[in-house]
Amino acid sequence: MSLLIRNVRIVDGRGREPYKADLLVQKDRISAIGNLRSKQAASSIDGLGNFLVPGFIDSGAVPDRYLDLLTNPAQTQLKGEGVTTVIGGNGGVSLAPLIYGRLEALAKWSGGASVNTNWHLFHEMLDSLARLRLGINFGSSAGYETIRSAIAGEEFRELTKNEQRVVLKVIERALRDGAFGVSLNSANARMARVEAKGVISQVNRHRGVISLSLDAKDGEEEVLKIIRSFSEKGKEKVLVTDFFPTIGYEDVFEKTLVAAPKNVRFVLKPFPTILKTPSEILPEWILKDRGAEDVAKLLAQPEVAERIADELSWMRPKEAVLSYSGRHSYFEGKSVSELGELYELPPAKALIKVFSMCKLRCGILYSEANSEVLRKHLADENVFASTYGHSKLSRLTAERGERNHFSEYLRAATEVGQTLPEAVQRITSAPAKFFNLENRGAILEGNFADLVLIDKDNFRAIETIVGGVTGGRALYHRG
């Protein structure tokens, strides 16, 4: 149960200059670092002078949201990018806690896929994951929407005082059971002040993180108002996800990054393509107070499709691609333009037809972001890099020439003036400190052996080692 890595240049994740050394792993820990020529181990790797860095920590990946973590626990796609740890549960949705033991909150992302769940409480979910052969380490926030929708249904309304007490009680238990914090989508981030105050208090008490999914289209004033409402004293840890330099809103993005409190971190991906669900594409008037089944029926009406098609004029159909479509897998990988040709319809109407057929259980790969502005800010001190990925998404984006997000991040960061040690620190020890991940994020004796051997010329992952020779694990936050 040992591994010897020879002939590498170690970038330790703490910002220090690379140094030549060998490294010995015993079980799941780094046992020794230095000149280890006389040492023997059960297996060995010759690093050939390449860089050995701590495993990358991805705080935006979504293998849980698409149930991919449960159906594909090895997570070979993310490991192939050098990711050893994911902190999931973002966007207001998570695998737990489940008040009624069902995953309805994830239905619109999972494409109708279902898995058997034998948990309700947060620690029960983590215990279940611990029994899987996880290829990566996985921790999670508690999704506020998952909890709230189980109590209030899909209708967005103010909670009664009794419902508020139930929600806060469930969150408190999740935080005690190992949740890294609480995540909220943009709608819940605007929730009644009394709800927000209770959440902030609980998360701070457990030294957790508040994760907010926000949109630059809401405007600088509104976005900053939301961020500051969760960062009253400037001490609360706030993570902002899904926030990109959307074309036409680049100023909002850049001004927000500058004006946000110092305790706020923004999660960006090096490539601009993102995954959008129908609820993020369709106009609000058709979604309001309606479930997915009802919306799908309305979309089948010609007059409704005509009206919505006019409102989707912003979409570039050749660049929008179906990423998943539930039982209608034939559509996957086809652009909206190709859907139009298939059905002999204008592209927008063809897309609406597919939304209706899939009952909104589908997703679109699309880039609304200004790639130049995005790349410029990858090296900012308040930015964490992410793949925003899961297995199926990684395969589809790879086909589009978008792969190796973290190697692209390292290239972009060094091109704008960062040193390699500084860039590595931003995706290893910096997020480890932010999430209170003990003994991770740095190459030190006694730390967990989450390691990546990267090519010295192009920074691509050659070998990813998770937990030494023992593999990944479910992470329980101890606040």
pLDDT along the chain (479 residues), means of 10: 95 97 97 94 96 98 88 91 96 91 66 70 95 95 91 76 91 97 87 74 93 94 92 85 94 97 95 80 85 89 93 86 78 89 94 91 84 92 90 58 81 91 97 97 98 96 94 90
Domain carrying residue 341: 278-366
Could you tell me where the DSSP H helices lie in 383-473?
391-399, 405-415, 420-426, 429-434
Per-residue confidence (pLDDT) for residue 384, from 0 to 100: 97
Q: Is 23 domain-assigned?
A: no
Number of folded domains in the chain?
2
Point out the domain boundary residue: 336, 366, 396. 366
Residues 309 and 434 in one domain: no
Per-residue confidence (pLDDT) for residue 160, from 0 to 100: 87
Per-residue confidence (pLDDT) for residue 113, from 0 to 100: 56
Rounded Cα–Cα distance for residues 456 and 48 (Å) = 10
Residues 292 and 250 in one domain: no
- Please, which contacts does 247-250 make with residues 24 or more away whose CB atoms are closer than 8 Å? 247/368, 247/369, 247/370, 249/216, 249/217, 250/370, 250/373
Q: Is 169 domain-assigned?
A: yes
Residues 352 and 210 in one domain: no
Q: Is 120 domain-assigned?
A: yes
Q: Is 156 domain-assigned?
A: yes
Point out the domain boundary residue: 328, 344, 366. 366
Residues 290 and 419 in one domain: no
- Residue 321's DSSP bridge partners are 335, 365
Q: Is 262 domain-assigned?
A: yes
| Strand-strand pairing, 383-385 and 181-184 | unpaired
Phi/psi region, residue 69 (left: phi>0; alpha: psi -120 to 50; beta: rest), is alpha
CATH of residue 385's domain is 3.20.20.140
Per-residue confidence (pLDDT) for residue 395, from 0 to 100: 59
Rounded Cα–Cα distance for residues 444 and 38 (Å) = 20
Point out the domain boundary residue: 319, 342, 366. 366
Rounded Cα–Cα distance for residues 26 and 32 (Å) = 9
246-265: burial string, b at 16+ Cβ within 10 Å, e else: bbebbebbbebbeebbeebb
Q: Is 261 domain-assigned?
A: yes
Residues 346 and 383 in one domain: no
| Strand-strand pairing, 363-366 and 274-276 | antiparallel
Rounded Cα–Cα distance for residues 424 and 434 (Å) = 15
CB 138 within 8 A of CB 474: yes
Per-residue confidence (pLDDT) for residue 154, from 0 to 100: 67
Residues 263 and 284 in one domain: no
Q: Is 159 domain-assigned?
A: yes
CB 445 within 8 A of CB 32: yes
Radius of gyration of the chain from its Cα atoms, rounded to whole angstroms: 22
Residues 212 and 126 in one domain: yes
Rounded Cα–Cα distance for residues 267 and 265 (Å) = 7
Residues 247 and 294 in one domain: no
Residues 132 and 89 in one domain: yes
Which structure tokens are listed for 109? 């992302």
Residues 354 and 235 in one domain: no
Spatial CA neighbour of 75 closest among 394, 440, 476, 400: 394
Give pLDDT tens digits for 340-358.
999 999 999 999 999 999 8
Spatial CA neighbour of 464 closest among 75, 140, 129, 133: 75
Residues 259 and 288 in one domain: no
Give CA separation, 437 vs 23, 99, 148, 393, 473, in Å: 22, 28, 28, 27, 13
Q: Is 67 domain-assigned?
A: yes
- Residue 454's DSSP bridge partners are 51, 461
Residues 93 and 182 in one domain: yes
Per-residue confidence (pLDDT) for residue 155, from 0 to 100: 67
